[in-house]
């Protein structure tokens, strides 16, 4: 698991705590936001495992019911299918939970926290510019009407591309991964589409600046 991927996740969780006036946050407050984000990640493992346990129990009950309560073959098949689906969900949650200890270990590393704070600093200092880039790249959307999680993921990616020297492809791929984890079913496609247009917007701005100079 890549340390910077965890840093981005910490930054995303930190942004959820950021006020509407981020420029008023000082370095100590940013560090505290990252600490809260680490604690949030720690809590996730317990929640994921508890949910997985409940889903396995429900799946087991469905299997038992298919043998004792089904009135015909069709209802029995339905119960078995539901049991399989619940078990698969539980397995997926356990898979995520297995990764979390490594995430927590990385999240407590100084360099990981430092990069999370660097992202938050860039957004705090350059949010007006970041949002201007996003406004130009959004089609039929207003930035203040976006789901907060999608808006925060987009801001992180733009901050990395425009101000932190991260290659466009890397920033976009990492934003898509964040959207798959935290946004809804269509969130990662939306994020991908917007960031492709962001890349064009940034490149055009850089070309114009070079021509003027």
Query: Which pTM does this prediction carry?
Result: 0.70
What is the domain partition of the chain in residue ranges? 1-205
Residue 183 in this model has a pLDDT that exceeds 60 = yes
For residue 6 the two structure tokens come to 């965890």
SS3 content of the chain, % helix, strand, coil (to 5): 85, 0, 15
- The percent of residues in the chain predicted with pLDDT above 70, rounded, is 62
Q: Which numeric CATH code is attached to 1-205?
A: 1.10.940.10
For residue range 103-115, list pLDDT tens digits in order.
667 767 888 888 9
CA dist 105 and 110 (Å) reads: 11
CA dist 21 and 206 (Å) reads: 28
Mean pLDDT of the chain: 78
CA dist 209 and 143 (Å) reads: 26
Cα-based torsion angle of the residue sequence 162, 164, 170, 171 in order, rounded to the nearest 10 degrees:
-60
């Amino acid at each position: 698991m890549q340390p910077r991927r965890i840093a981005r996740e910490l930054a995303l969780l930190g942004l959820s705590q950021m006020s509407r006036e981020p420029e008023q946050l000082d370095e100590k407050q940013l560090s505290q936001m990252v600490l809260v984000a680490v604690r949030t990640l720690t809590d996730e493992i317990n929640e994921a495992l508890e949910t997985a346990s409940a889903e396995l129990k429900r799946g087991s009950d469905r299997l038992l019911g298919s043998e004792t309560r089904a009135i015909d073959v069709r209802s029995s098949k339905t119960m078995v299918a539901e049991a399989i689906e619940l078990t698969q969900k539980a397995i997926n949650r356990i898979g995520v939970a297995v990764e979390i200890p490594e995430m927590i270990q990385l999240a407590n590393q100084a360099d990981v926290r430092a990069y999370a704070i660097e992202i938050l600093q860039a957004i705090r200092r350059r949010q007006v510019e970041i949002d201007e880039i996003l406004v130009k790249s959004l089609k039929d959307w207003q930035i203040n009407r976006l789901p907060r999680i999608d808006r925060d993921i987009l801001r992180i990616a733009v901050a990395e591309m425009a101000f932190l020297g991260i290659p466009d492809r890397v920033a976009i791929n990492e934003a898509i991964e964040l959207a798959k984890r935290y946004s809804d079913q269509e969130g990662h496609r939306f994020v991908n589409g917007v960031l492709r247009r962001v890349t064009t917007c940034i490149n055009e701005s850089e070309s114009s600046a070079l021509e003027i100079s």
